[in-house]
Amino acid sequence: MFPLSKPLTLLRWRRVAARVRHHSSLTTELIENMDKKATWDRFYTENNSRTPTFKNFEWFFGFDSVRDFIMPLLQTKSHPDALLQVLDMGCGTSALGPCIYRHSPLPVRVTCADISPIAVRLMQEHIQAKAIQPHNVSSQLEFVELDCTHIHKHYGSSSVDLIVDKGTTDALLRSKEGKGKAALVLKQCLKVLRSSGSLLQFSDEDPDARLLWLETEAQEPGVMAADVGVQEVGELRGVCYYCYQVTPRCIVQE
């Protein structure tokens, strides 16, 4: 039986917004328009102007809190000569993607993608300045401006080994006009994932709500299906976080 807590409400998302209030004056806009590029451009511009030097901004938590969920999925290569393809979807200015690049023993190509060119530029400049070295010399790291509803324009079908989503789907689901986009993103993730690949969603939404949504939106008779599971990440600042793993399932044509 899954551990359950109180249903996710706007109040809980206001707690998230409260954690960034000292960084940004657009708290209300952030809550209501988290599916909009302009919102994130303003957020990262304001956030960066508050500090004299660059500092990664982490939604929920950093890499160390979830490395044990991510790294075991990068232990087997899909092809002997290929890099494992990893997408950090909606990366913002998080250090998550670079940390995967730094710690993966197998060669990976980590693509950190965000809708905001401001976030992408800040991360590119930061990585160039720090000259981060990978664990495997063949690994690659890139930052790209990408609307997560257009993943199919960057990746071909069945080409990605791991997609990490730390709060991106949550942001879409909480936005006024984002619910349809969230469903579209999920379907595109399943199309670009290899049969051996996984989508990891890190969220504070309770399993009774998120599992039902995932199981409903990930099924399209005769087209796609997926297995969905959940593990508890832990509690932070009084909020319980979860890791939802979505794995494509082969469709058997009758």
Q: Name all domains of the chain by residue range, CATH numbers in brackets.
A: 25-249 (3.40.50.150)
Q: Which of 172, 179, 244 is nearest to 208 (CA)?
A: 244
* 162 SS3 class: strand
pLDDT of residue 251 exceeding 70, the answer is no
Mean pLDDT across the chain = 86
| Burial per residue of 57-87, b for 16 or more beta-carbon CB atoms within 10 angstroms, e otherwise | bbbbbebebbeebbbebbeeebeeeebbbbb
What is the DSSP secondary structure assignment for residue 103, as one 8-state letter? H
What is the DSSP secondary structure assignment for residue 151, as one 8-state letter? G
Q: What percent of the chain has pLDDT over 70?
A: 85
8 A C-beta contact, residue 191 and residue 157: yes
8 A C-beta contact, residue 109 and residue 78: no
pTM: 0.87
| Burial per residue of 173-184, b for 16 or more beta-carbon CB atoms within 10 angstroms, e otherwise | bbbeebeebbbb
Query: Which residues, 6 or more positions from 83, have their beta carbon under 8 angstroms from its beta carbon?
Result: 107, 108, 109, 138, 139, 140
Segment 115-167, tens digit of pLDDT: 999 999 999 999 999 888 999 999 999 999 999 999 998 999 999 999 999 99
pLDDT of residue 85 exceeding 80, the answer is yes
pLDDT of residue 97 exceeding 80, the answer is yes
pLDDT band at 252 (very low <50, low <70, confident <90, very high): low
CA 218, CA 221: separation in Å to the nearest integer? 10
pLDDT of residue 66 exceeding 70, the answer is yes
Report the number of secondary-structure helices (H) and strands (E) in the chain.
Answer: 9, 7
